[in-house]
Structure 1
């Protein structure tokens, strides 16, 4: 729990950081100190080895000088050899014995010359004997004698263990020459006790040892008595092979009393082939440094601990107000803002933080009040948006519509707003019992403004459609109404269609909307026809119409750009190509809902987890009517009219239409077509009249279309039947009245293609007499 406070963590980090710094600096100092200590040890050990070598050299130098002097004197005083040996042995305590031996004569039977040998006993007395009398082992056959004859300048021979004196002895031999030929030798026995005493008297570092190696690599002397006379290790001999002073490091010492690496300091002993060595353990060299370092480290850690404690106390005292602020912050987190803060004692950072925290508390209280108010407003707005959504949905007709009168067409629609309310729209309604208006649109904006503009568009379209009668006229009237007072410059794209439910004739007009797709006959076909400008921006705009005749089972798919512009997470658009490809996979016999489900499913799979960016609306209209009847095309002359009447009567007879109904139809068609020729084509202007007959089980549908001037034969008023029936000054007066009486339905429209008159004659047995 203590480490949760800033003071504890700061003190801990100060201690840890200081420890790292201390360790780094200590390691650097230890390295530098070790280097200096090692250099100092090298100098001192090399000097000590050189000094010991000088002492040994001085001792053996005196032995060698005495032996050479005796060799020179005895050559002329051979008879005084024993006395000279005694005097020399008494004067030089380093000698243990002296011998003057001579080469025997080569004459057979000659007596060996007197060869005295004087030695010193342990009690200091001297004894002598004649070596020539040692018949068991004649000296003149010994290696030491034969080797000594070649030492004209003196030489040290191999050490040997004296059985009589029970110690290791070494000989120094000098040849006695006469006329340039050796006649004998002076052989000096030197015990190595004094050599051990010299090694023992050296002021060596603790744990160090000294030794002397002879030319064969054997230990002549060693601080470890067990190694005397034994051969040195190869690595040691290799290091000692130089004739100069050397300093080398060995991974392990030869002595069993020493562990770890050692430093060897060696020096040659002049006048011999011996070499003095001084071995110092590496750990002993650095022992003092380690003690000082460990002591310094302990003192440093204690100092750092003291600094950490002081830091902890100082920071705790300094940051005590922060603890109070942290406690108050927890109150703030729980929404408890009614508390007081202790007064700031100093104008430092903590004091400024206290003032700022108190100011924040007051501001936060006000802000929470504002947030509560905003939350209430947001909740109210969400409720209003939900109401607006319900109202918008209420403005739209049902998603599914099936013609209940003749079941000639079926419609299915789907709308997905990107927000609670959107700007897409669709609508449909029966203009009259035979004509069906349908539209799909997209407002330029989203949200509430788009929803209001969409509602205005639907309302105006339904109100203007009875007066407009055609998609072209409806778009023109709707555009004029939307342009009025449109200060926000909003606009709507709209695709409008008018379906003749009996014949399947479909008239389309577009105000900048996406082209529809016709499905059902082979591959889906994109109907890309000319469009007018969007609604709501330009008053003087025309909207061309596109005519087509739906075949039974064909489906017209209308949609908004929410389909083609749907994008995935990589911002790739769905596009019209994928739209057409998706519709290709729909069976030709599928209902309208099947087209919509397939298309929306493919769009959803393409978009995946990407956010819907725009409203989506799709509407599918399928016509289930019968195939078109017989169509006749004639000229705009009266003979052509009567010829066409005869052909129509024959066709009706072939279709088994009752004779009474055929007569009524001939009379009505004659009246209407004559009026069309007389008043639709003034001055005999040429033209074309189309007649389409479609017999059905219950009635006969007739459609008259001409390209003459605008002429509505249904407008004249009912004539006065009390007057002269032959008076025809009033255009079509009596004839039009009879036509209305004899038909079940008459309807006139005007489009860009001309005049359209639709008639319906019900069989007499279904609707009583026709006249």
Structure 2
């Protein structure tokens, strides 16, 4: 422990020291930049001041020469004596046919002034670069430095054009010595190891702390660094003495620049020494702390050996042992007591854990049984009726837990109407599974009484609202398919809109829905009717599809659902649609846990040729008694032509008379005009007659059986003896009411002597 404490402390010391070292380096570098730039700028200002005096004197001479040149030599001598930085002055006019003098005065080494006429030189001054360049310098310009052979020194020219009448007629040229540049650099108070220089426009040193370099060209990297005009420090890593910092300062009015060079090692020298000293002292201190810690730890932790030995017993599951008594009141004594208490609590916890494990196994077994029971409530995944090959159905359900709240169901109500349902219970787990089982059971029980999806939802809603203290509800999509012509009537109780795939497009069937089943006893459910065409597939699903989420909580959504169903190649069966959609959902979630139950049901309309017989008779009549008897006569003639026996025709005639007269009398109490529709069809097991009327709701099947004791039943009361006789003569009698009116279905059984053509 002491060793690791020492190692850890050293690491902390090194990290903190390095961070402090880096921060100190940055602060020293910033401080150095500020002082060096100030020193460089101050030196540049001194040079600019001296050059500015020369430039002012020369421009003044040019102005005077432009107006009067009678005493040019005297003017030049006076100006030369007034400025010690001037080595020579000349007034050089443009050459003419008549020779014009070009006076030139220069300062000798002994301080005397010498005069001569430049026009008499063997080398024509008007061909020199200082003259040609000076003609273009209206406000003055500095020329390139040059080495004078006659005076054996480095000079630089400052030239100003003499202008008369807007034309350049000559040049005033000043020769300036550069020895004073060297003296300025020597008088600067530079940090140790630093040096300064002045670069000319041609990249050569005009002055340098190392005088041997004056006149030589600077290194390319140095020239590139000095070319910057923002005056910011530049780090030069490839210098001869290692990395250096350069602080350039352009000299205004010239193409010169002054540079201050600071070796980087010199900047950080004091910081490095301070850092190493601090690290050494810190290391010695840590070694001392580690020795003290080692001594204390050895004395304090010796009793822990006993606890370690007993802990090994606990690791092997041996909890029946004793700990030696200890009178210590420090952490070791408290740890011993806590360890002994933990041993007893652990034994009790293991006992409880064993019981809990058995309980979980029992609960898992019950959940598995519940899953099997719930699965048994659902019909098979695939449905294809051999007697009615016009459609195919495939469904899939994936509960998020062992049991879930999603549901689907389908069943044939009669030989022509096929029911299908898809729903989602509001809760999850066992409560949702029980509510789902109740919903499916009630739906199958109520379907024969409803005949329409909207009526089934209404009845189912009323039943589920009773004793619903938990306020559970289920969103439900219900449909009734006419297996002969493909007409599908849909009603929704707050459920997801279905998707219609017609082979070329995919679209949502959005229509008005009612409230979820189980919430409002007065809820109504509008119907929506579509006619399926050959190759159409209707997809019903729960929100477990659209709300399936991946690892980033992005949802699958409706658009991805539509894109999945439309992607080529299109599925060729109902099972193909469900399999593709579930596979795309699995790819989207990419292994993320399933949060909600998933259910999908696909209904494909195949439109095979129907082998069912056409109706024997279909007609519409007015709601009057004469029209009723005329319609009954037409029905009898149609049955006679179809070869139905006389006894069965007599039963049909009697029942139709009773039912249709009741419809006229009780379905239209206000005696308004209405229409009664009749559809009669022969089946393998008898005759089916459907009566449709647009009157007020009237259910003849709901009348109680009459009391046949004593006098005959009152024939004027609804449901009297006539209704009782009707019940005894038909096999089935079903009534329903919807937005289309009253619907009564009568099924007459076939007799043994009935022959159907």
TM-score with structure 2 setting the length: 0.52
Measure the CA separation in 1 of the matches of 2:632 and 2:686. 19
1:420 Cα deviation from its structure 2 partner:
0.9
SS in 1 for 2:358: helix
CA contact (8 A) 1:498 1:508 kept: yes
Aligned residue in 2 for 1:591: 573
SS in 2 for 1:384: helix
Instruction: Specify every segment of 5 or more residues in structure 1 that has no aligned partner in the other structure, as ranges.
Output: 1-5, 22-237, 239-299, 721-726
Matched, 1:754 2:741: yes
CA contact (8 A) 1:423 1:446 kept: yes
1:620 Cα deviation from its structure 2 partner:
2.1
1:503 Cα deviation from its structure 2 partner:
4.1
Equivalent residue runs for 1:681-760 within 5 Å: 681=668, 685-689=672-676, 704-711=691-698, 748-757=735-744
Measure the CA separation in 1 of the matches of 2:620 and 2:593. 55
Measure the CA separation in 2 of the matches of 1:468 and 1:330. 73
Measure the CA separation in 2 of the matches of 1:347 and 1:728. 103
Measure the CA separation in 1 of the matches of 2:311 and 2:447. 67
Would the alpha carbon gap of residues 400 and 17 (structure 1) be closer, same or farther in structure 2, given more than 3 Å must change? closer
Would the alpha carbon gap of residues 586 and 710 (structure 1) be closer, same or farther in structure 2, given more than 3 Å must change? farther
1:515 Cα deviation from its structure 2 partner:
2.1
From 471, 493, 499, give the equivalent of 1:517.
Answer: 499
Matched, 1:502 2:484: yes
Would the alpha carbon gap of residues 676 and 409 (structure 1) be closer, same or farther in structure 2, given more than 3 Å must change? farther
SS in 2 for 1:464: helix
Aligned residue in 2 for 1:769: 755
- Deviation string, structure 1 residues 724-763 (Cα, Å, up to 9, x no partner): xxx999999999989998x998765432211335578999
Larger Rg computed on CA atoms? 1
Aligned residue in 2 for 1:348: 330
Equivalent residue runs for 1:299-698 within 5 Å: 312-520=294-502, 522-585=504-567, 590-623=572-605, 624=607, 626=609, 660=643, 675=661, 678-679=664-665, 680-681=667-668, 685-689=672-676
- Deviation string, structure 1 residues 181-237 (Cα, Å, up to 9, x no partner): xxxxxxxxxxxxxxxxxxxxxxxxxxxxxxxxxxxxxxxxxxxxxxxxxxxxxxxxx
- Deviation string, structure 1 residues 28-79 (Cα, Å, up to 9, x no partner): xxxxxxxxxxxxxxxxxxxxxxxxxxxxxxxxxxxxxxxxxxxxxxxxxxxx
1:358 Cα deviation from its structure 2 partner:
2.7
Measure the CA separation in 1 of the matches of 2:484 and 2:720. 27
1:446 Cα deviation from its structure 2 partner:
0.6
Measure the CA separation in 2 of the matches of 1:502 and 1:465. 19
SS in 2 for 1:462: helix
1:643 Cα deviation from its structure 2 partner:
10
SS in 2 for 1:381: helix
Measure the CA separation in 1 of the matches of 2:731 and 2:756. 9
- Deviation string, structure 1 residues 515-538 (Cα, Å, up to 9, x no partner): 222333752342322222222232
Measure the CA separation in 2 of the matches of 1:686 and 1:315. 108
Measure the CA separation in 2 of the matches of 1:19 and 1:643. 113
Measure the CA separation in 2 of the matches of 1:506 and 1:19. 81
Measure the CA separation in 2 of the matches of 1:394 and 1:17. 67
1:383 Cα deviation from its structure 2 partner:
1.6
CA contact (8 A) 2:426 2:474 kept: yes
Measure the CA separation in 1 of the matches of 2:414 and 2:674. 29
1:14 Cα deviation from its structure 2 partner:
8.5
Measure the CA separation in 1 of the matches of 2:446 and 2:561. 33
CA contact (8 A) 1:634 1:640 kept: yes
Measure the CA separation in 1 of the matches of 2:717 and 2:311. 100
1:423 Cα deviation from its structure 2 partner:
0.9
Number of aligned residue pairs: 483
1:319 Cα deviation from its structure 2 partner:
1.6
SS in 1 for 2:586: helix
Measure the CA separation in 1 of the matches of 2:377 and 2:424. 15
Would the alpha carbon gap of residues 644 and 484 (structure 1) be closer, same or farther in structure 2, given more than 3 Å must change? closer
SS in 1 for 2:455: helix
Would the alpha carbon gap of residues 303 and 489 (structure 1) be closer, same or farther in structure 2, given more than 3 Å must change? closer
SS in 2 for 1:579: helix
- Deviation string, structure 1 residues 337-390 (Cα, Å, up to 9, x no partner): 333334335322322332333333333332233222222222222122112111
Would the alpha carbon gap of residues 18 and 530 (structure 1) be closer, same or farther in structure 2, given more than 3 Å must change? closer
CA contact (8 A) 1:593 1:620 kept: yes
Would the alpha carbon gap of residues 749 and 552 (structure 1) be closer, same or farther in structure 2, given more than 3 Å must change? farther
1:11 Cα deviation from its structure 2 partner:
7.2
Measure the CA separation in 2 of the matches of 1:413 and 1:18. 69
Would the alpha carbon gap of residues 568 and 580 (structure 1) be closer, same or farther in structure 2, given more than 3 Å must change? same
1:431 Cα deviation from its structure 2 partner:
2.9
Would the alpha carbon gap of residues 341 and 405 (structure 1) be closer, same or farther in structure 2, given more than 3 Å must change? same
Instruction: Specify every segment of 5 or more residues in structure 2 that has no aligned partner in the other structure, as ranges.
Output: 17-210, 212-281, 709-714
Measure the CA separation in 1 of the matches of 2:425 and 2:718. 49
Would the alpha carbon gap of residues 564 and 459 (structure 1) be closer, same or farther in structure 2, given more than 3 Å must change? same
Measure the CA separation in 2 of the matches of 1:494 and 1:304. 75
1:327 Cα deviation from its structure 2 partner:
3.6
1:677 Cα deviation from its structure 2 partner:
7.7
Measure the CA separation in 2 of the matches of 1:681 and 1:566. 53
Measure the CA separation in 2 of the matches of 1:674 and 1:665. 16
CA contact (8 A) 2:700 2:723 kept: no
1:642 Cα deviation from its structure 2 partner:
10
Aligned residue in 2 for 1:86: none
- Deviation string, structure 1 residues 293-318 (Cα, Å, up to 9, x no partner): xxxxxxx9999999977764553232
Would the alpha carbon gap of residues 760 and 306 (structure 1) be closer, same or farther in structure 2, given more than 3 Å must change? closer
Aligned residue in 2 for 1:195: none
1:474 Cα deviation from its structure 2 partner:
2.8
1:612 Cα deviation from its structure 2 partner:
0.9
Equivalent residue runs for 1:60-459 within 5 Å: 312-459=294-441
- Quote the RMSD (CA, aligned, Å): 5.3
SS in 1 for 2:510: coil
